[in-house]
Amino acid sequence: MTSPQPYDRIAFVAGTSPEAQQALTELVNTYGNHDPADADVLVALGGDGLMLQTLHRNMRSGKPIYGMHRGTVGFLMNEYSRHDLHARLTAATDTVIHPLLMRATDIHGEVHIHHAINEVALFRQTHQAARLRILIDERERMAELVADGVMVATPAGSTAYNLSAQGPILPINAALLALTPISPFRPRRWHGALLPNTAIVVIEVLEGEKRPVAAVADHDEARNVRRVEVLSDKTISMRMLFDPGHSLEERILSEQFGH
């Protein structure tokens, strides 16, 4: 009796769109569907939003996740095909990513702890701009940033909101984080910074009662924060699978040349 292939047992998850649900039906009929706890690999059918949800839900499982594009935005997804899935999974390249850990303290002293795969962002809650103080590894680097907000983005998240805010695109294997301002007013010409992924970023909210600020880790929000600590959580390693020639490294490289 031969031993099973590494990715014999597949668990499928799908978005709510008709395209994703149709793909789910086709693939389950062809390959079956295992419980995620017993599966060798998770296959996500949808867009980048579903991929982020799947990564969050399985953050500590250690199971590889392979996405197929059946949604709106598919930067993190492979092309969809119902054929030769076992062969595609076996041939796929493995990319390991680490999430950000956000520890946000609000004005009442309550601590909110969340993980982010794309970015941790601070936003003004009212019409008034936020006033923020930035420390890197306990050293003040900016005494005052007046802006709509600021974010810390991972390489995996650098092509998402970070790119829309004119932040840099980071290769997925770069040991870097992007610190990017959101509509900065002062200093007006500050475009952000590249930080080692070992850095501990602390953002303190100045005049928080008058200028309230929210902190968001992907989709988890804490409001009226006064201090936010962000770091790369190396205790968690997530595995994403990509078809050869369509790895996240290649996608990020292509994005920088307008493809």
User: Is residue 161 annotated as involved in ligand binding?
Assistant: yes
At 212, list the tokens. Answer: 């309230």
pLDDT in tens, 139-181: 999 999 999 999 999 988 998 899 999 999 888 778 999 999 9
Phi-psi region of 145 (alpha: psi -120 to 50; beta: other; left: phi over 0): beta
Residue 140, Cα to own-chain centre: how many angstroms? 26
User: Is residue 173 annotated as involved in ligand binding?
Assistant: no
Name the catalytic one among 8, 38, 48, 233.
48
Q: Is residue 2 part of a domain?
A: no
Identify whether residues 225 and 240 lie together within a single domain.
no
Identify whether residues 108 and 219 lie together within a single domain.
yes
Identify whether residues 93 and 104 lie together within a single domain.
no
Identify whether residues 125 and 218 lie together within a single domain.
yes
Mean pLDDT of the chain: 92
Q: Is residue 150 part of a domain?
A: yes
Q: Match 């062969």 to its residue by tokens.
A: 87
Identify whether residues 250 and 227 lie together within a single domain.
no
For residue 80, how many other CB atoms are within 10 A of its CB? Answer: 16
Identify whether residues 36 and 131 lie together within a single domain.
no
Identify whether residues 217 and 249 lie together within a single domain.
no
Q: Is 233 a catalytic residue?
A: no
User: Is residue 101 annotated as involved in ligand binding?
Assistant: no
How many independent structural domains does the chain possess? 2
Q: Give the pLDDT band (50/70/90) at residue 3.
A: very low
User: Is residue 44 annotated as involved in ligand binding?
Assistant: no
Identify whether residues 77 and 143 lie together within a single domain.
no
Q: Match 């992007």 to its residue by tokens.
A: 178
CATH no. for residue 15? 3.40.50.10330
Q: Is residue 4 part of a domain?
A: no
Q: Is residue 46 part of a domain?
A: yes
pLDDT at 248: 66
Question: What average pLDDT does the segment 101-122 reach?
Answer: 97
Q: Is residue 210 part of a domain?
A: yes
pTM of the model: 0.86
* Strands 41-46 and 220-222, bridge-based pairing: unpaired
Identify whether residues 74 and 105 lie together within a single domain.
no
Q: Give the pLDDT band (50/70/90) at residue 5.
A: low
For residue 66, how many other CB atoms are within 10 A of its CB? Answer: 22
Q: Match 């569907």 to its residue by tokens.
A: 33
Q: Is residue 115 part of a domain?
A: yes
Nearest to 40 by CA among 74, 1, 66: 66
User: Is residue 48 annotated as involved in ligand binding?
Assistant: yes
Identify whether residues 222 and 104 lie together within a single domain.
yes
User: Is residue 193 annotated as involved in ligand binding?
Assistant: no
220 is in which domain, residue-wise?
Answer: 100-232
Q: Is residue 1 part of a domain?
A: no
Q: Is residue 3 part of a domain?
A: no
